[in-house]
Chains A and B, each alone.
Chain A
């Protein structure tokens, strides 16, 4: 058994949230630079250069890359040999988020769904915990903006629709979203599982580096084909028409029921902010 003080986790969440608000992931930045180079001209190229210039200003001036500093989505894989000592884990995560959003001058974007009253400190965070082997904790932190979250969809396909149905669902979601979710987007896809786990798989797919592929060749092929068809749509950066509508498609899968084929498509804007740490 290994004892871990939750204060360490709170401080780690604080660091991760503070860094995430100001920085794109290296894989996202590289994909944006490639997109800017490959775009032939016009308003889409102008928008891509503006986005790259923005990333520099954010770092220099300590201003969030996007004013939508998001809902804090945290996934923790907790080794089953770990004993968590101190205040409740959820409280520690929320305290880390609260401090980071206050000290970083980040926007507080969390509210009651009915009254729309803002909680004024960006809590509660969305916390997923999984028990895994070992005595460590893997933490991933992803601030999720809602311009793109709003364009996400869940499909309960028929098994007969198969791979073609999956690819169509992914492409249709991006097509319907059009200019609204801040393209070029990063597309997280969940394939299989149940109604609830499928959506979670789609979110987890967004934790992967932009441009990475699933280890299963047939799934990686779905990623490549979906990306090819999305970029053939010609929506382009900000909907200004161009060759790059998506920076990448990431799929994660799980076993499902013989009667179903759930597919969840979670849209992430071009502002991919994601931190990974192990305690």
Chain B
């Protein structure tokens, strides 16, 4: 299985093909419904985002709290389609890609192609397995949103599939 370190380096996304199984390691950021609403509001107002978006990989997820001694609680992907209206805005601003589950809109696929990004599908409902692949977790924005806050995750050997590649390929 192909091993990748996130965030991807320039040009690395172009080598990925839809349907390929991958093992992901490195750094990703969680964000789901409420965090996306806040991020796009900040963008509309022309304000600074609370983290660097350029090349970042956003994981559509809201973890369970961690038990003492563990880095994270369960943390599988949530349904990506709910972020359809937000993803093209973030991709146009340099977002490197997303991890989630399920199909996204044609607009998102077009934005992935235009920006040379990628969309990985993790296996929905495998929260314990993914939580276990998280080695470090730190809340970096919107802590009042609890599980919907933005967490910076360090992951190791996180199984996923390339769902949309930047040439328009799709696993769905």
A residues bordering B, Cβ < 8 Å? 43, 46-47, 50-51, 53-55, 57-58, 61-69, 105-109, 116, 118, 120, 147, 150, 178-182, 238-241, 269-271
| CB pairs A–B below 8 angstroms (9 shown) | A47-B161, A57-B132, A63-B67, A63-B74, A66-B126, A66-B127, A67-B64, A105-B73, A238-B121
Q: For the complex formed, measure the closest distance between the CB of A268 and the CB atoms of chain B, giving whole angstroms.
A: 11
Query: Is there contact, CB below 8 Å, between B101 and A67?
Result: no
CB distance from B43 to the nearest CB of A (A): 19
The 8 A-B residue pairs whose C-beta atoms are closest, nearest first, are: A58-B128, A67-B127, A54-B126, A182-B124, A63-B128, A180-B102, A67-B74, A54-B129
Shortest Cβ distance from B19 into chain A, in angstroms?
Answer: 6
Taking CB atoms, residues of chain B closer than 8 Å to A65 are: 74, 125, 127-128
Q: B88 on the interface (CB 8 Å rule)?
A: no
Decide: B74 and A64 in contact? CB cutoff 8 A: yes
Question: Are A269 and B124 in touch, CB under 8 angstroms?
Answer: yes
Task: Let me know if A239 and B146 touch, CB within 8 A.
Answer: no
Q: Answer yes or no: B34 CB below 8 A from chain A CBs.
A: yes
Say yes or no for B97: interface residue by CB 8 A criterion: no
Contact of B146 (CB < 8 Å), options: A53, A69, A118, A271: A118
Question: With a CB–CB cut-off of 8 A, which chain A residues contact B171?
Answer: 43, 239-241
Residues of B within 8 A of A (CB): 19, 21, 33-34, 61-67, 70, 73-76, 78-79, 81, 101-103, 121, 123-129, 131-132, 145-148, 159, 161, 171-172
The complex places the Cα of A182 from the Cα of B127 at a distance, in Å, of: 12
| B79 pairs with A150, CB closer than 8 A | yes
Decide if the interface of chain A is mainly helix, strand, loop or mixed: loop
In the bound complex, residues from chain A placing their C-beta under 8 Å from that of B75 are 67
Bound together, the chains give a CA A50 to CA B158 distance in angstroms of 11
Q: Which residues of B contact A147 (CB under 8 A)?
A: 78-79, 101, 124
Residue from B128, B148, B172 in contact with A57 in the complex, judged by beta carbons closer than 8 Å: B128
Across the two chains, which residue of chain B brings its CB closest to A52? B126
Known pairs A54-B127, A107-B73; A179 contacts B64 (CB<8 A): no
A66 to B34, CA, bound (A): 20
B52 CB to closest chain A CB (Å) equals: 26
Given the known inter-chain contacts A67-B127, A67-B131, A118-B146, please indicate yes or no for A107 contacting B62, CB distance below 8 A. yes
How many angstroms from the CA of A169 to the CA of B21 in the assembled complex? 34
Q: Which residues of B have CB within 8 Å of A270? A: 125
Contacts A57-B128, A64-B128 supplied; 10 other A-B pairs, CB < 8 Å = A51-B123, A54-B123, A61-B128, A64-B127, A66-B127, A105-B73, A147-B124, A238-B102, A238-B121, A238-B124
Tell me which of B67, B78, B81 contacts A68 (CB under 8 A).
B78
Q: Choose among B123, B131, B146 the residue that contacts A108 (Cβ–Cβ < 8 A).
A: B146
Nearest Cβ on chain B to A148's Cβ, whole angstroms: 9
How distant is A230 from chain B, measured CB to nearest CB, in Å?
A: 17
